[in-house]
Structures are given as structure tokens and as C-alpha cells.
Amino acid sequence: MKPVILWSDALIFLLVAALVLFFWRLRRDPQARERWRQVFASRLGMAAFTVIVAYVGIALLDSLHFRRALPPPEGVTTDEVFYDNQVSSVLDTLTAGMGERFERTYSAPFALRSFEKQTLKDDAGNTVRDFPPLRHAGANLDDPADKWGDVARRSAVALAWGLALAALLILPQWWLLRRSALPWESSWWVQGVLACLAVWVVSISRHYHVLGTDLGGTDVLYQSLKGIRTGVLIGALSTLVMLPIAVTLGVSAGYFKGWVDDVVQYLYTTLSSIPGILLIAAAVLLFQVYIDLNPDAFPTGLEKADAKFIALCFILGVTSWSTLCRLIRAETLKISQLGYVQAAHAFGVSHGRILARHILPNTMHIILITFVLDFSALVLAEAVLSYIGVGVDPSMGSWGNMINGARSELSREPAIWWTLSGAFLFMFLLVLSANLFADLVRDAFDPRTRLGPEAA
């Protein structure tokens, strides 16, 4: 086994580490702690956060990549180890080869036979056109009529294991947090349900395709799971690229005013008057050409796809900073007129120190709110971009690509609905949780939504 570290893998781990560090440091600021407590004091916030953490967890598991060692070819004795050209992730291992049980083409959820007729030879040797049985689904069954009974039995066993896993997960937390004032029960319920679901999905999909298969015969559920990493990464990385640009430009425009302000304003006015999708499409195509001209830099297919993906995140970030920049500029203009900044000037405090100690900390709430709100917008943006064909590489599982494929599938009769449903279900859950969480964060951090003492 040979570990492979893709650029995006490194970035996602760095990102998660940075977030954990950020929360850790927040513990020292009593005001911020109080606000976060407000976010987590609501059951909804707790549940939404748990779902988000689960998504991030899956994305992290999917970011531990490696290439399997292949057994030496028969009859050859050599010390050299050959590695599979296919890069796998820990998630692939955990899902017990869900992504390796290919069928020939489309099949409906839980189907035993293919969705499309094929020319077959029956036992008597006659040529007939019929729905061929699937290679993997239901291979364990002696009698196809017993399918649902088999599913039910396996589900019961899976549920038992799921409950056991849930108990294993929740009991230590319960022991640690039973005196906490926060509604951890909500989180535990969500964790329990997710644990049961995970065990069920893994065990059932050994013998069936829970969400069917797509045109290439890949399990749709597996593709949706792979889409999580793409979705989480695109949301987080693009925001991360955007933040420094928006914060630096916004704060300097609002603080230094004058020509700096003019330049920044012209920049974002120009940027926001170019249709965003056009700009992104052009940039992505340019990068595609670069990849095609430099094949040596990207040895495996996955690395190519990864480079393209990071470029996409970068481009999305570079084109979407203007809103946040405008907000921060306005807030900085306001803050720099306040007494404490004036007082700092009167004390001869340097510009850098004023920015770092007085202005940036007081625009934090805007940055935080935008980060959480933009996250879901960017996940959706990925779907739109992939739909028009300039998104992530088709070889990389993503919800946008699945939706893109669904275009032709839905127009068939009978329609193939499961690819779209799979992508929709997974995306919906993430975006919904992110939005709910964002709302709570905004309520807690936005000074305008909080009742001050003067309101009473």
C-alpha cells in the first residue's frame, strides 16, 4: 500500500485543523463563547451541527488516499512492488467495495435485473431479448422471489449492529457530558440515526444496489457518498480562497479611504459586472488546456481531476469576494469613525495594530456569518457549474455531475429517477443543515438581531 497525498487532501486536513484551532482559541474570549453557547443551546443548532460534522467526517475519510499494492504477475519473481493505477480512499475500504461492484448499465434500486433489455441466449440456446440478471445484486439469493424477505432479515441484523455502534458512540459522550447544560440529546439522536443508517447501508449494499446504478453501472449510492468530499471541499476551499481577498481589500478600503478605496471599489464593480459563470467557464477551460499540455505533471487520472478541482475552487473564490468585501468595507468605515479607533489614533497606535486589534476583531461577526452562509451557496454553485459542463472533472464523483447526467435520464420513458434523487438527497441534507446552522450563527452574532439593553 502506498499513500497518496493529493493537494486537495492536504488542504482539507489543514482546513479542519485550522477550524479546530480557531474554536479552541475562541474558548478564551468570553463574549464569543457566550454566543457560540447560544448557537448550540438550540436543539436545531446541535442537530444541524452534528449532520455537518458527519459530512465533514466522511469527506475526511474520503481524503485519505492510497494505491494498493498489486500481487506480482504470475510466474515472475521480483522484489519490486507494483501499485494499482487506481487510487482508493479509506472510505472505499469502509464501504466494503461498494464502488467496485459494477453492473453493465442502469438498474433500479434493489433490482435484480438490468433496466435495459439485452440479447441473451437461454438454456435451450435460443436467442432472446430480455432483462439480464445483474452480476452482483442478489447474487446470494437462491430464489429471486425471496428478495424482500432477505432484505428484511439483513436489515434486522444491520439494525442490531447499528444500535450497538450507536451505543458505542454515544455512551462515552453521555458519560462525559451528562452534566452539560447544552441539549446534547439532539446530537445523540442524530448520531444514533446516522450510525444505524451507515451500518445498514454498508451491509445491504454488499448484496443490492440501494439507490440503483447509473449508465456506467456504478452504484449511485457510492457516487453520492463520493460527492460529499467534493461538496464539502468546494464549499470550504472556495470560501477560504475568498476570505483573505475580501478581508484585506475590504478592510483597507474602509480604513485608508482615498485612492485605496477608489481602487478597491473599481475592482469589485468591474468584477461584479462580468457575468460570473462566463468568467469561471473561461478560466476552467484555460486550465484544462494547461493540464492537457503538461501531462507529465499529473501522473494519475485522479491527480489530473484533483488539479482541475482545486483550480475550480480557486476560481470560484476569486470571483465571489465582492459581496463580503463590500460588507467589510462598510463596517470598517463605520468602525473607524468610532471613539476607540479615534482614541487609538490619538495614542499614536500604528495602522497595523489598529487594524489587527480594533478593526478586524470587530468585523469578525460579518466574516463568520458570510463564511457559513456562502458555504451552502458554493455547494450549489458547483452543481450548477457541473451541469453546464465546466465544473469538476467527470471522473471525480460530484453531485453536479450526477445531476448533469440526469438531464437525459429523466427524459426517457420510463424515467430513471434514482441518480437525481441520490444527488438531491445528499445535497439537500448538507445544504439544509448548513443553512439552518448559518441562520442560528447569524442570530447569535449579528448585533442587529440581538436585543440590546436599550431595547428594554
Partner 1 sequence: MNQQADTLTLEGLSVELAETAQALVKDVAIHLRAGEIFALVGESGSGKSITSLAAMRLLPDALRVGSGRALMGDTDLFALPEARMQTVRGRRMAMIFQNPMSALNPVQTVFRQVAETLCLHTALRGAALRDRVASLLEEVGIPDPRQRMGFYPHQLSGGQQQRIMIAMALACEPEVLIADEPTTALDVTIQKQVLELIRELARSRRLAVLLITHDMGVVRQTADRVGVMYRGRIIEEASVASFFDAPKEAYSQRLIDALPGQDAFLPPVQAPPLLEVRDLKVHFPVRGGLLRRVQDVTRAVDGVSLTLARGETFALVGESGSGKSTLGRAILGLEATSGGEIHFYGTRIDGLDRGARQAFRRRIQVIFQNPYSSMNPRMAIGAIIAEGMLSLGVEASENRREARVAGLLERVRLPAECARRYPHELSGGQLQRVAIARALAVDPELIICDEPTSALDVSIRADVLTLLAELQREDGVAMLFITHDLSIVPGLAHRVGVMRSGLLLETGSAERVFTAPEHPYTRELLAAVPRVKR
25 binds partner 1 (CB under 8 A): no
348 binds partner 1 (CB under 8 A): yes
Please give the span between the terminal C-alpha atoms of the chain, in angstroms, as a whole number: 65
Interface positions, 78-137, toward partner 1 (CB under 8 A): none
Query: Cβ 357 to partner 1, closest distance in Å?
Result: 7
Cell of 33: 463563547
Distance between CA atoms of residues 408 and 421, nearest Å: 14
Judge contact between 61 and 226, C-beta under 8 A.
no
345 binds partner 1 (CB under 8 A): yes
343 binds partner 1 (CB under 8 A): yes
Site size for partner 1 (CB under 8 A): 24
Report the candidate in 372, 277, 273, 261 with the shortest Cα–Cα distance to residue 325: 261
Nearer to partner 1 by Cβ, of 305 and 344: the residue is: 344
Contacts (Cβ under 8 Å, ≥6 apart) of 70: 81, 82, 83, 84
Q: Which residue has the cell 472533472?
A: 393
Query: Cβ 447 to partner 1, closest distance in Å?
Result: 9
258 binds partner 1 (CB under 8 A): no
Distance between CA atoms of residues 436 and 40, nearest Å: 12
362 binds partner 1 (CB under 8 A): yes
31 binds partner 1 (CB under 8 A): yes
Nearer to partner 1 by Cβ, of 34 and 116: the residue is: 34
30 binds partner 1 (CB under 8 A): yes
Query: Cβ 331 to partner 1, closest distance in Å?
Result: 14
Stretch that binds partner 1, among 60-68, 206-214, 306-314, 356-364 (CB under 8 A): 356-364
* CA distance readout (Å), 20 to 86, 184, 192: 32, 19, 24
β-sheet bridge partners, residue 129: 119
357 binds partner 1 (CB under 8 A): yes
Query: Cβ 349 to partner 1, closest distance in Å?
Result: 4
Nearer to partner 1 by Cβ, of 244 and 361: the residue is: 361
Sole binder of partner 1 in the list 71, 258, 295, 339 (CB under 8 A) = 339
Interface positions, 191-220, toward partner 1 (CB under 8 A): none
Report the candidate in 324, 425, 427, 314 with the shortest Cα–Cα distance to residue 372: 324
Judge contact between 342 and 407, C-beta under 8 A.
no
414 binds partner 1 (CB under 8 A): no
347 binds partner 1 (CB under 8 A): yes
Chain-centre distance for alpha carbon 278 = 24
449 binds partner 1 (CB under 8 A): no
Contacts (Cβ under 8 Å, ≥6 apart) of 86: 67, 68
Q: Under the rule (CB under 8 A), what is the footprint of partner 1?
A: 29-31, 338-340, 342-350, 353, 357-358, 361-362, 451, 453, 455-456
